[in-house]
Amino acid sequence: EIMAQQRGVNSLQFNQDQSCFCCAMETGVRIYNVEPLMEKGHLDHEQVGSIALCSMLHRSNLLAVVGGGVNPKFSEISVLIWDDAREVRDPKDKLVLEFTFTKPVLAVRMRHDKIIIVLKNRIYVYSFPDNPVKMFEFDTRDNPKGLCDLCPSLEKQLLVFPGHKCGSLQLVDLSNTKPGTSSAPFTINAHQSEIACLALNQSGSVVASASRKGTLIRLFDTTTRDKLVELRRGTDPATLYWYSLLTWDILLNS
């Protein structure tokens, strides 16, 4: 058991294949292997201060961090890329990239060729990691939780986030959108109340969503936009924080 209360975990995020997860903590960053469960690496408070968000790129040496918490060294409006494999005397020289905005960063998602940065009302897409260039930006409705998911598949570059209409999802195929243009994402009307949680499966063929009521989870085909399954948890309201569709490809085809 990881003693989260003593160490002050601000957030955690799995990598793209969910073989590892990283914890953004008041004491820095901790990276864990899932099977077997063991610590894989860490960045101490002396190196990075307290961290609000962290995101891994697969099992590579690249880590995205956003400052926050009680004693941060880095700003909440900047995403910093830490290259742990870089051999330098000064740990600050392991910070190889910086993306700075005018408002706090609420979420970061990465795939092998792109990084997604989520603000309250806007989402930015950059090429990554070599010579990053802003490719797209999308306006969103108020998104205080930074809800967003990105398909890691080589075949499908799908991005999903809350739509402008309450309870809706917007999906963008980044591979079919020209850089520098404003694409019109297609919309799925998933719920009547605000979206509280969303996730794509590994192949990007299915998106799941839950509303703030927390009574059911709906799964949709990302190509046809048809509802595939409705999973009812119960009638009492509940708050859903996270779920995964890692095995849903197997379940759909069984």
- Token readout for 69 is 């918490």
Query: Where is pLDDT greater, at 89 or 240?
Result: 89
DSSP strands (E only) in the chain: 9-14, 20-25, 28-33, 38-44, 49-56, 62-72, 78-83, 95-100, 107-111, 114-118, 122-127, 134-139, 149-150, 158-162, 168-173, 186-189, 195-200, 206-211, 216-221, 227-232
pLDDT digits (tens, 9 = 90+) for 27-81: 999 999 999 999 999 999 999 999 999 999 998 889 999 999 999 999 999 999 9
Please give the pLDDT value at position 134: 94
Tell me the CA distances in angstroms from 71 to 27, 67, 158, 197, one per residue in order.
Answer: 9, 9, 36, 29
What is the pLDDT at residue 1? 47
- Please state which of the ranges 17-26, 73-82, 143-152, 228-237 shows the lowest mean pLDDT: 228-237
- For residues 234, 238, 240, 245, the Cα torsion angle rounded to the nearest 10 degrees is 0
Pairing state between β 28-33 and 20-25: antiparallel
Q: What is the largest CA-CA distance in the chain?
A: 57
Res. 19 pLDDT band, cuts 50 70 90:
very high
Q: What is the DSSP letter of 113?
A: T
SS3 of residue 8 by DSSP: coil
Rounded distance, CA 215 to CA 82, Å?
39
Mean pLDDT on 80-84? 91
> How far from chain centre, in Å, is Cα 220?
19
| Mean confidence (pLDDT) of the chain | 86
Higher pLDDT, 157 or 242: 157
Cβ atoms 28, 42 nearer than 8 A: yes
- Decide if pLDDT at 243 tops 90: no
- Percent of the chain surpassing pLDDT 90: 65
Q: Does 237 score more than 80 pLDDT?
A: no
**Taking residues 185-204, what's their average pLDDT?**
90
Q: What is the mean pLDDT of residues 197-221?
A: 89
State residue 211's pLDDT score: 86
Q: Is the pLDDT of residue 182 over 60?
A: no
Instruction: Kindly calculate the radius of gyration of the chain based on its CA atoms and give it in whole angstroms.
Output: 18
